[in-house]
Amino acid sequence: MTVKLNDAAVDALRADIPSLQACYQCGDCTAACPWAARVPGFSPRRVMRGLQIGSGFSESELWRCTACSACTVACPRGLNPPSVIATARRRALVEQNIPSGVQRALESLADRGNPFGMGASSRGKWAEGLGLVDHGQFPVLLFAGCTASFDPRAHGALRTLARALQVSKTKFGLLGRRETCCGNEALAMGEVGLFEALARENIRAIEESGATTVVAASPHCYNALKNEYPRLGLSGVEVLHYTEMLARLLSDHKLATPGKIARKVAYHDPCYLGRVNRVFEAPRDVLIGAGARLIELESNRDGALCCGGGGGGAFREVPLNERLSVARVKEAVEAGAEVLATACPVCVQMFEDALAVTGLQGSLEVKDTSELVSRAMGVTVRH
């Protein structure tokens, strides 16, 4: 199953990606890539080369990348291989070289505004019973995102986050059913057209809400809202990740964390929060302030190992022995952590899955940072 690029397609691709020719094949990307380290023969350098000269490459090579951007950080020419790969994926979509899970996710996004095949009308259900505002105007908007909205496992974290905002007396609201997928993953999977349609819908809803601050529960949404939406018209809005918001509220004394977590917590930097958007300290400050005994995993901050869920990774089947999430939870257990804390609902899903399959559920707990902070705040929410 080879994606061949004929000449017209290569020319078009080059026109899409002006930077493609700047790659001088140094291989620093491959040295940094977590997949290259585990999958024999996979190499971002080779993918870039294949695109430069128009040779064919396999479906698995094209869909392997989880957009962790370790390569981007490593590249001496400031190139961005994940976005080059995303453009190549657009060709693959047209040529029907698509893993079935990815196709399902994209079709569901186009039809229902979420990748899970769930009805759009149940998007706001996670907020039931909290008395939250989901219409009219408000200064702060909590952007829930698909994973947190539809995954019951993530509802706990999202509900406690909302409750914490209520306790801090922040005037905020939700888009409710007017929220649709941020489109970050659609873009990474090559669907520029779909991404732009989703983005425009969200931008319109955000403008109607009058919000000047948008707080994203997921780093994926955070990335899209902050880095991609401005060129499509979003302006006059400050975009924060929820850990940044919590850090701000704590330092302004609008929230307090009197109860102390007192566990050994390893913090995992989600790729889109840490490496891509350089937010490393806010989540750590928040955890330390809540009394966590923070330990650092060997690969942390810029060097953090990807959980494997981004860039469409959550929709693809990956053999057990190649899974990054399995390596990461083992790393946490070996470092002596009792809790692996992160700040992304996708990471939480990937790590929980990894615990289930390695039988390590007894040795390690996976938590979203908001859950730990809320516990320390003494905030509890009915499920």
Mind giving me the DSSP string for 208-228?
HHT-SEEEESSHHHHHIIIII
Q: Does 35 bind another protein (CB under 8 A)?
A: no
- Of the pair 1, 262, the CB lying nearest another protein is at 1
Cα torsion angle, 356, 290, 298, 226, sign? positive
CB of 186 to another protein, least distance (A): 8
Q: Are 132 and 123 in contact (CB under 8 A)?
A: no
Identify residues 149-208 at the interface with another protein (CB under 8 A). Answer: 150-153, 191-194, 197
Residue window 341-360: x/- pattern of binding to another protein, with contact defined by CB under 8 A: --------x--xx--xx---
Distance CA 56, CA 51 (A): 8
| Closest separation in Å from C-beta 226 to another protein | 23
Which residue, 98 or 255, is less far from another protein as judged by CB?
98
d(CA 237, CA 15) in angstroms, rounded, equals: 32
Integer Cα distance of 249 and 290 in angstroms: 13
- Selected from 49, 90, 293, 330, the binder of another protein by CB under 8 A is 90
Binding residues for another protein, total number by CB under 8 A:
43
Is residue 111 close enough to count as binding another protein by CB under 8 A?
yes
Residue 63 beta carbon to another protein: minimum distance, rounded to whole angstroms: 12
Q: Which of 39, 28, 29, 19 is nearest to 84 (CA)?
A: 19
Q: Which of 31, 39, 73, 93 binds another protein (CB under 8 A)?
A: 93
How far apart are CB 329 and another protein at their closest, in Å?
A: 13
Output 85 or 247, the one with its CB closest to another protein: 85
3-state helix, strand, coil in the chain (%, to 5): 50, 10, 40
Q: Which one of residues 18, 53, 78, 121 is an interface residue with another protein (CB under 8 A)?
A: 121
Structure token pair of residue 153? 């496992």
* Closest CA relative to residue 145, chosen from 175, 113, 181: 181
With b meaning 16 or more CB within 10 Å and e meaning fewer, what string describes 216-247? bbbbbbbbbbbebbeeeebeebebbbbbbbbb
Residues that bind another protein (CB under 8 A): 90, 93-94, 96, 98-101, 103-107, 110-112, 116-121, 147, 150-153, 191-194, 197, 314-317, 320, 349, 352-353, 356-357, 383
